[in-house]
Chain A
């Protein structure tokens, strides 16, 4: 049975408490503990019975986007009066957004934007929002589920990747072979499909190495939990915007242009 679990579902099980009621649908919301305090965990999982046939895999489609928005907003509402807002962890294992005719007609862009809004609003309300990348974190699906986090933590393991387009599709569009695309990624860092290259962009809070992403041991799980708890603490002590992504030594090197644009625009802002 466990063999059929997606990586996201497996890590959700590993990190959170067992569900109190039967779960169905493509979005999972669970409670758990991080550093001795209550936390909420969210994942998008395959949903073979989904009524939208292009959204049965672990992709972000219409229902996934709106259900994520509802689940995250439920946590914001529950903690509205709380002094310490509970941490929110997005367990990221999403192959892509859903590609389909119905999806476009019915506004999959809006469904994904609703999830973006919910995560960003949680962050602005003071919830430490942490993304934990355990599988693919692709393009629009990652924007909707993970990229609004205060802190991003990733496993450096086969099968984890961040990118704007799947490798095969990117090879077709740029008229390169998959091999030459890999070679290009070694010199043009943002083109790389390797998690170690993504880490050099300065966007990650931590890259966790040496963890078995498919079959984590209990020591692996404890290590990831400790990293998540540390990321939560760091987020609580930092600003609620995404400015921390421009402060690391890697960011100052690789995203120098992003920093320079902001510096010079500030100079010219008030004439």
Chain B
């Protein structure tokens, strides 16, 4: 196949819904959704604020197999409330990871994958979104002692807020070039710190700082993939074949030393690549 044919043969991952993303990552024919739209577990808090609910609350939990091994995928739907984490969507993700942990406690194995696409806490459910995110983080830390927890940030929403910490806790983190990973969204920084701190309208600057390419280049994410479902799937499978690695959040002395190399008055994305670059 020449480059043109390869390009045409690609199936975009980004353009898929959360449900389709989970289905295409799992082994063909094995997708089984838990607490799907027909279970009608909706946010109890949005209706109180005259906001239309969605029957899956924007989180899709699917069981199936990966490379023939039992798997569970938690996929966040960016088209509902920006992928924000409410009580129900957050509880679905936490519950999936907690049940995966009980598989190991019962002597069985399962492969957990989280597809991040979220601005963080759903502001209309504030404290219950935040509480759910703490529980998701707790579950990832407990689970990754047994098995790699693999995170994928597809784009275009990216992964922000408390969920960026959850992504950072993953054993392996896969990003596309289009994806962004950061704690505070550019608009929030501009609002809190002023446009002289960050111009949130400068898309080139934003992606050069927190886009997938930079994150992988400086060692804050593991693998950069094209927007191609086959490549995402192969990368996820590869992470499970490698098994549990040393986690980035455990490399405390390493990152304190790396931070010490940085001069806050003269740091930019390119300089960081020369300081922290992994290739």
Contacts and interface: CB of A to CB of B under 8 A. Distances in A.
Nearest to A166: B192
Interface in B62-95: 63, 87-88, 91-92, 94-95
A75 interface: no
A261 B138 contact: no
Interface in B241-274: 247-250, 252-253, 255-256, 259, 262, 264, 267-269, 272
B35 interface: yes
Contacts of A189: 127
Main secondary structure of the interface of A (DSSP, over half): helix
A124 B142 contact: yes
Interface residues of A, number: 78
Contact of B165 (A102, A109, A188, A191): A109
B184 A104 contact: yes
Contacts of A188: 45, 48-49, 124
Given A104-B184, A262-B95, A164 B34 contact: no
Contact of B128 (A100, A139, A190): A190
Contacts of A257: 41, 43-44, 87-88, 91
Contact of A100 (B95, B141, B193): B193
Contacts of B126: 163-165, 170, 190-191
B169 A174 contact: no
A258 B128 contact: yes
B147 interface: no
B222 interface: no
A270 B113 CA distance: 18
Q: Give chain B's interface residue range (CB within 8 Å of chain A).
A: 35 or more
A117 interface: yes
Interface string B91-134: 11011101100000000000000000000110111111111111
Nearest to B145: A124
Contacts of A266: 95, 99
A144 B165 contact: yes
B191 interface: yes
B183 A97 contact: yes
B123 A165 contact: yes
A258 B192 contact: no
Nearest to A72: B252
B249 A110 contact: yes
Given A104-B189, A106-B259, A255-B87, A268 B123 contact: no
A236 interface: no
Interface in A120-178: 120-121, 123-124, 139-140, 142-144, 147-148, 162-165, 169-170, 172-174
Nearest to B215: A107
A258 B272 CA distance: 41
A250 to B, nearest CB: 12
Contacts of B41: 257, 260-261, 264
Contacts of A123: 138
Contacts of B198: 100-101, 104
Interface in B13-67: 32, 34-35, 39, 41, 43-45, 48-49, 61, 63
B249 A113 contact: yes
Given A107-B220, A117-B249, A271 B123 contact: no
A82 interface: no
Most buried by B among A117, A188, A264: A117
Nearest 3 pairs of A and B residues by beta carbon: A113-B168, A109-B164, A109-B183
